Amino acid sequence: MKNILVFTITTLLFVGCKQSQSEDCEALVQTNAQTEKNIKIYKTAWNTFFDTRDSSAINTDSFDEQATVVTAEGNITGIEAFREYYGNYLIGFSDAEFRFIDIFGDGDKIVKHWNFKGTHDGELFGIPATNNKVDINGTTIVTMKDGKVLQEQDFFDNYSFLTQLGLLE
């Protein structure tokens, strides 16, 4: 359904632009095409990461050398550090399941709404395994640069996450 909507909007923009011959319309169509390309690159990279459980899916094919994770404790910058950060989820949850609920964007900005499930059976950011199951939803704001992930900032209910892990009551 979403693909039909995107196709319809793109078609309407293209037809409208052809009629008006406006440079603004042409730029809008190009921006929409770049957004769709960015979303495809982004989804493919993260689906590969979780489906193969291989942190090497975070590589220079889809991620900028200076890829940055924005966290409350400070930014984590560089593709190796980025890979290590997200690799914690593969180590901490041997049965990790990740799915996109929704994803959309504008130019080099992407917003993803996601769901993460798994059993905490390994160390996660220094937290020993609790063997508790988690099921959380969150949102990530993404900045792309030249068709690669440059920056991510995740937002989710950390209180609920820690409670599900059994670390809070």
Q: What is the 3-state secondary structure (H, E, C) of 96-112?
A: CEEEEEEEEEECCEEEE
Q: Determine the pLDDT at residue 2.
A: 57
pTM of the model: 0.80
Average pLDDT over residues 84-92: 96
| Angle made by CA atoms 71, 57, 128, in degrees to the nearest 5 | 55
The pLDDT value given to residue 5: 46
Give the pLDDT confidence score for residue 33 in this predicted structure: 87
Q: What is the distance between the alpha carbons of residues 19 and 82, in angstroms, rounded to a whole number?
A: 46
pLDDT at res. 23: 60
Domain limits of the chain?
A: 2-164
Per-residue pLDDT at 32: 80
User: Cα(77)–Cα(48) distance, rounded to whole angstroms?
Assistant: 21
Q: Are 119 and 131 in contact (CB under 8 A)?
A: yes
Among the residue ranges 18-22, 69-73, 125-129, 130-134, the one predicted with the least confidence is 18-22
Share of the chain above pLDDT 90, in %: 79
What is the pLDDT confidence band of residue 169, given thresholds at 50, 70 and 90? confident
Percent of the chain with pLDDT over 70: 82
Nearest to 149 by CA among 17, 13, 18, 58: 58
CATH tag, 2-164: 3.10.450.50
Q: What is the pLDDT of residues 15-48, one digit of tens each?
A: 554 555 566 666 555 668 889 999 999 999 999 9
